[in-house]
Amino acid sequence: MRFGTFALDEALGVLLAHSCRVQNLVLKKGRVVTPSDIAALRGAGVTQVMGAWLEAGDVPEDEAAARIARQIAGANVTLSAARTGRCNPLAAFDGVVEIDTSAIAAANLIDESVTIATLADKQAAKAGQIIATVKIIPFAVSEDVMARVGKALSSAAIKLTPYQARRFAIISTTTSDLKASVITSTEDITRQRIAALGGAIISSTRTAHNTADVMSEIRAVLSKGAEIVLIVGASATVDRGDVVPVGIVAAGGVIDHFGMPVDPGNLLVLAHVGAVSVLVLPGCARSPKLNGVDWVMQRLVAGIAVTAKDIMTMGVGGLLVDTPSRPLPRDAAVYTRTSSGLKVAAVVLAAGQSRRMGPANKLLMEVAGVPLVRRTVMALSAAKVSQVVVVTGHQDAEVREALKGLHVEIIHNPRYAEGLSTSLKAGIGALAPDVDAAVVGLGDMPGVTAHHVDQLIAAFDPDADQAIGVPVHTGKRGNPVLWDRRFFDDMRGVSGDVGAKALIGANESLVYEVEFGDTAVLTDLDTPEQWSDYLSKSVS
């Protein structure tokens, strides 16, 4: 190929390197110059063009891209049309991409004119998704280069293994202090994971968090025909000798590997009982965000074996997100903690429709002559907080009137009917950029006082991994909850009507509990019965 500037007398058959726009004449890049083009250019005062002249032995860019793409495309891979020197292999089905990484690297080392980019090996792909792209840099490639690239590539350097219809069983272990809502939320998220892989759930059960019951439940789901068993422990597995792994072994299983160099996902347990794969999910599986569990599940559903070695070699590329357990928040480049003390804000969620209370809005009902929402907001405002944000939704005007005269910021959430998570996002989004943490409370907790909030703040120590403050009464966790700012991004990503509860379970190592001698942190008023019971007691 000869590239350069050509006088019009020599330009016939030249591929234009750049679009030519002169007066009313427009000739696009890549156009092969024709006799009429030359006449039009000359009439417009153009004397030369820049482009490429293909010589014998040159392969045009589209043809070259298509040839290479056809060579690397293996099973279940289709191809786009070649245009502008590019051809894209596509996934024919949902599944896992398998890449001959050595072959692709070898091909890319042949010549600068040929480039092949792919997804990572063993990465999930959706049907129709681009899984690789072949791009020819110049307008043509020599046959010699094409031959050397062809030799470097295997006949199927890229293939896709589709997901198979697998039968799943979910086992959730329980303890007395683990809220049912947390278990339910995790089960829902796990179902979503399975559904995304085209799996069928044949069993979803709960059992006590002890070895004997875990063993019995595993045997029960195996008898139902489960092919993959997912176990969500009430507490994170910390050793092969912990409750759930021992239960697997007691059921006749083998622990293949404990832990993985993927974050989030470090505490995964990979095991099997006969031909059935068993995964003990780490705490991060309580969140829908991508983690190491997804990588393993994707491979298993596609029928790709996962060994201990496979797990141990996932480290490069295994840092999936900037996880909260690391000391700095994600926006550390633009934010540093103050040296003069930690700033903590308060967010009060007061947008709900109060459906279980009947026709009345519980937030506007009075306790000791004060609207419930005003009583709650006043308590949090009296604490050692730098900012108070109240998120409204249902009956916005009436709630604002109930808060009239208080020095707080009121944010309306127009999407309040979509669930608690939308109000949480609105509240976090309204916080000042320099706050270190936020105490998130509900608008219907009449017994919570500034003392409760101040105790949570006093124990907050993010440098010592005390980053999520949870109030506790007789072993039961309640509200409000203090969140270090490193979780704000994750809180913006929650959905549904469960708020950020799943983040607590996914980050137990960062949770600190503050014990209170009263029931205020457990008391919210959702129903007429709860309201009547509360008012029957002495309210100061």
pLDDT tens track for 295-324: 999 999 999 999 999 999 999 999 886 544
**227: its two tokens:** 């092919």
pLDDT attached to residue 440: 95
Residue 280: other Cβ atoms inside 10 A: 29
Residues 499/420, Cβ–Cβ less than 8 Å: yes
**295: its two tokens:** 């990588």
Closest CA to 168 of 277, 283, 269: 277
Task: Tell whether the torsion through CA atoms of 170, 175, 176 and 179 is positive or negative.
Answer: negative
pLDDT attached to residue 483: 95
Closest CA to 191 of 496, 459, 434, 418: 496
From residue 43, how far is each of 36, 49, 50, 84 by CA, in Å? 10, 14, 18, 29
Closest CA to 207 of 217, 221, 197, 198: 217
- With a CB cutoff of 8 Å and minimum separation 6, the contacts of 59 are 67, 140, 141, 142, 143, 146
d(CA 468, CA 479): 12
Pairing of strands 409-412, 388-392: parallel
* Residue 246 φ then ψ, to 5°: -65, -35
Fold of 167-312: Molybdenum Cofactor Biosythetic Enzyme; Chain A (3.40.980)
Quick one: DSSP state of residue 434?
T
Task: Tell whether the torsion through CA atoms of 313, 319, 323 and 326 is positive or negative.
Answer: positive
pLDDT attached to residue 247: 97
Residues 167/200, Cβ–Cβ less than 8 Å: yes
User: Which residues of the chain does CATH 3.90.1170 include?
Assistant: 58-162
Residues 500/428, Cβ–Cβ less than 8 Å: no
Q: Is 413 helix (H, G, I), strand (E, B) or coil?
A: coil
Q: Using 50 as the pLDDT threshold, list the residues of the chain that sit under it.
A: 323-335, 339-340, 539-540
CATH number, domain 58-162, options 1.20.120, 3.40.50, 3.90.1170, 2.30.30: 3.90.1170
Q: Helix 143-152 and helix 101-108: axis angle, to 10°?
A: 160
d(CA 504, CA 501): 5
pLDDT attached to residue 321: 64
From residue 234, how far is each of 4, 7, 32, 176, 186 by CA, in Å? 69, 78, 68, 10, 11
d(CA 5, CA 176): 80
User: Which residues of the chain does CATH 3.90.105.10 include?
Assistant: 2-53
DSSP states of 182-230 as a string?
HHHHHHHHHHHHHHHTT-EEEEEEEEESSHHHHHHHHHHHHHTT-SEEE
Q: Give, for 411, the enclosing helix (H) or strand (E).
A: strand 409-412
pLDDT attached to residue 497: 65
Fold of 2-53: Molybdopterin biosynthesis moea protein, domain 2 (3.90.105)
Quick one: DSSP state of residue 120?
P
**141: its two tokens:** 């490639």
Q: How many CA atoms lie within 13 A of 171 on its CB side?
A: 28
* Residue 170 φ then ψ, to 5°: -110, 130
pLDDT attached to residue 504: 85
pLDDT attached to residue 325: 47
Fold of 344-530: Spore Coat Polysaccharide Biosynthesis Protein SpsA; Chain A (3.90.550)
- Rg over CA atoms, the chain: 31
Exposed e or buried b per residue across 176-215, where buried means at least 16 C-beta atoms within 10 angstroms of its C-beta: eebeeebbebbbebbeebbebbebebebbebbbbebebbb
User: Which residues of the chain does CATH 3.90.550.10 include?
Assistant: 344-530
